[in-house]
Structures are given as C-alpha cells and as structure tokens.
Amino acid sequence: MRYREAGPDDVATIAAIHAESWRNTYRDALSAEFLSGPILGDRLNVWGQRMSSPAPNQYVVVAEKGTDIGGFACAYGGHDGRWGTLLDNIHVLKEWQGSGVGRRLLARVADWCLVAYPDAGLYLSVLQGNALAQQFYLHLGATYVGAGTWVPPGGGGAPVLMYAWTTAQLVRIRLGDG
C-alpha cells in the first residue's frame, strides 16, 4: 500500500469513490433522485475544480495499491480559527474498509497538519446517523465538540456531529497511538 498526494489525473477515481461512498452511506441524508442520477457528475465537477485550481491550504492524499486507488482524504489547513484544519472528506471503498486504510489516511493528514499548520488542530463533521464513522473517529482520539446541520447537494438538510483533535492528539494518530 502506498499513500501519495493526489493530482489532476486522480479526479475521476476520487469522484467515483466519493459518489460510491455517498451512495452506500448517505441514503438517509441525500435524495434518492440525486443518488441515482447526477451524483457522479456533481462529484466530477467538484473534484475537477478542486484539483485543477487547488486552494493554497488544500491537501488531498490517496491510498493506492498497484494502480488501484481505494480511498482518499481531503483537508483544508487552518480553515477555522478555533478548530484548525478541516478534514473535509475521508472515504474508503467498502472492499478496502477494515484494512487500516482509513486510519493511515488520517495519519497522513495528521502529518501534514503538524508540519504545515502546527498550531492548529483538526476537525470534521459527520452525519448523525453514521455511527461507524463516529466510532472510528472516537477510537482515534477525537472529541465530540458540537452539532449542526449539513445542507447537501440536491437539497434538504441533515443533522451532523462535529469532532475535533488537538495537536497533541494528532501526534498520537501520527505515531499510531491514537
């Protein structure tokens, strides 16, 4: 398994993983019409823009085995004055889950945060109904810090929970203690 920074050639694969992850996990949050229709085109558009004109604080890492990519994470450094770097996305193909790929992707993001934004923690929002992801983040040392509402593509609203890591907690993730 290899982890590397993503580039423009990875757009289609990242978009497909993102769409598949949402189809598998976000059925209660996204409209059935969106999930069965324009989701892939929407994600291709989003990732095409992100990778062709990346924000200066954007970091995208992929997990690769041979020529296959099975997961990715995207973070925006120093995104929030209080919570630090935003972990905007972390998705792993269903068949790659349980192999440590998600944990190692998070460790790569932690490494990047500690080097590029050493005084900032890391935070994310996760769907309230996504208990597996919540357990994953808690297992890796995240702390529940609040709740809100996500307005997804295709309309509507979904309750989310926010989790955060301090820089000390990021060091533990990076070292494998998290």
pLDDT tens digits for range 139-152: 999 999 999 998 87
Does residue 29 or residue 17 have the better pLDDT? 17
Residue with tokens 């770097």: 85
Does residue 175 or residue 26 have the better pLDDT? 26
Sheet-wide strand order for 122-127: 2-5, 58-65, 68-80, 84-92, 122-127, 158-165, 143-150
Which percentage of the chain shows pLDDT scores above 70?
97
Inter-residue contact 54 to 45 (CB < 8 Å) = no
Q: What is the CA radius of gyration of the chain?
A: 15
- What's residue 152's pLDDT? 78
Tell me the C-alpha distance between 57 and 94, whole Å.
29
Mapped onto helix, strand or coil, the DSSP state of residue 151 is coil
pLDDT in tens, 23-41: 888 777 767 777 788 888 8
The mean predicted confidence, pLDDT, of the chain is: 91
Instruction: State the pLDDT confidence band at 175, using cuts at 50, 70 and 90.
Output: low
Q: Is the full-model pTM beyond 0.85?
A: yes
pLDDT > 80? residue 129: yes
- What's residue 178's pLDDT? 44
Does residue 31 or residue 100 have the better pLDDT? 100
> Which of 130, 129, 83, 80 minimizes the C-alpha distance to 102?
130
- What's residue 97's pLDDT? 85
Please, which residues bridge with residue 160 across strands? 127, 148
Pick the CATH number of 2-175 from 1.10.10.60, 3.40.50.1820, 3.40.630.30, 3.40.50.720: 3.40.630.30
If you average pLDDT over residues 12-31, what whole number do you get? 86
> Which sequence spans correspond to the domains of the chain?
2-175
Inter-residue contact 138 to 163 (CB < 8 Å) = yes
